[in-house]
Amino acid sequence: MKSWVLSRYQDCRDVLRDNDMFARDRRRVGAELPEFLQNIQTIDPPDQGPLKSVLMNALRSQDLDTAGAQAREQITGIFADLAQRERFDWIKEVAAPVALTITSHLFGVQRPDLHWYVKLSDSIARRMDIGLRPERAAVGNDARTQLNSLVDQWYAAERRPGVFATIRETAGQLQVPPHYVHNTAGVMFNASYGTLFATVSNIAMTLIERPETLDALRGADRKLLDSATDELIRFEGPAQGTSRVATERTVIHGTTIERGQIVLTLMASANRDETEFTRPDELVLDRSPNRHLSFGWGVHGCLGAAFGRVAVRELILCLTEAPRLRLAGTPVRRTTATVRSLDSLPVSFTA
């Protein structure tokens, strides 16, 4: 993997929050990166600051209660359509349309064609593994270019209320290249979709395997639903790891890390570290505190974490009110290292 790999919670968190020593922007150690990839995820402070401020304000200006109500309405409608089916694929018929529709509502854009976007986002997710699979770079780069073109179409379309309109209205105030804003808008949209898609997939599988968990949440109050949502995200989160590059020589547990070397933080492993989480391999629905790393940490932590929690909570709530979800075939895991998800999950609702 040509990386130093960290699996302990404290080590991962320390690296993620030390942006001076461990950079996301590899240009800080002399790497050359194509401009079409530059966005909020690839630039570090202080350059990141103005752009991040605009994006945070755009997200905070959205009504999360309304977003939650929209999510619940859509999920309930899909469940009603599927209730009489003997078998359906949760991934294709629930996870993908729910994630794409909810994200499109939040951003205030017309929902892209579902089948086209699922393929595009899958190519971007697989590109994250190019350290292991270099051959995935070309298809992934093409998908990123298509995503940037989609953002250009949104810029030219009529305005709708949402995150995208807020970004567009305030982007002129930023002292950054305009394409950084465009790229970031696309990256944020896809990150929202991809994170929801994977999380909705993983949590469904977890709850099918542990039906007693769903039973315990039936009729639960808001406090328990909120803590259970975070616990399920910790237990089976979509983000397996993320990398940083050392900006100078340093030492971790007696091992010398040279400038320019890659440090890979295994966030999913950190989320099972017994020194941070009591009974880490169990679902503790009222776990508190729960400082998991599923949304990252530090300056590059997930901007849409609050929205993600709302959407996932509504999914769990809808599942507690629906007939029991059962396997109707053999699930197939997606062959990706960076993102944990499924390719198919055949299920049925059974009274």
| Alpha helices, H only, 28-130 | 48-60, 64-82, 90, 96-107, 114-127
Rounded Cα–Cα distance for residues 108 and 30 (Å): 38
Q: Check pLDDT > 90 for residue 136.
A: yes
Inter-residue contact 193 to 238 (CB < 8 Å): no
Q: Check pLDDT > 90 for residue 190.
A: yes
pTM of the model: 0.92
Average pLDDT over residues 322-326: 93
Rounded Cα–Cα distance for residues 268 and 192 (Å): 19
Indicate the pairing of strand 342-344 with strand 332-333: antiparallel
Average pLDDT over residues 162-190: 81
pLDDT over 70 percentage in the chain: 98
Contacts of 209 (CB under 8 A, 6+ apart): none
- What 3-state DSSP class applies to 89? strand
Q: Token pair of 49, please?
A: 């600051």
Give the burial class of 174: count Cβ atoms within 10 A of its Cβ; 0-12 exposed, 13-18 middle, 19 or more buried: middle
Indicate the pairing of strand 324-327 with strand 88-89: unpaired
Give the model's pLDDT for residue 36.
Answer: 66
Give the model's pLDDT for residue 226.
Answer: 95
pLDDT over 90 percentage in the chain: 72
Q: How far is CA 206 from CA 125, 213, 284, 286, 328, in A?
A: 22, 9, 13, 17, 15
Kindly report the average pLDDT of the chain as a whole number.
92
Which of 70-74, 159-163, 190-194 shows the lowest mean pLDDT across its residues?
159-163
Give the model's pLDDT for residue 100.
Answer: 96
CA angle 105, 185, 24 (to 5 degrees): 130
Q: pLDDT, tens digit, for every residue of 106-132? A: 999 999 999 999 999 999 999 999 888
Q: pLDDT, tens digit, for every residue of 301-317? A: 988 888 899 999 999 99
User: How long is the chain?
Assistant: 351
Inter-residue contact 196 to 117 (CB < 8 Å): no
Q: pLDDT, tens digit, for every residue of 198-210? A: 999 999 999 999 9
Rounded Cα–Cα distance for residues 182 and 151 (Å): 6
Q: pLDDT, tens digit, for every residue of 241-299? A: 999 999 999 999 999 999 999 999 999 999 999 999 999 999 999 999 999 999 999 99
- Which of the pair, 1 or 206, is modelled with greater confidence? 206
- CB count within 10 Å of CB 224 equals 14
Of 22, 19, 15, the C-alpha closest to 48 is 19
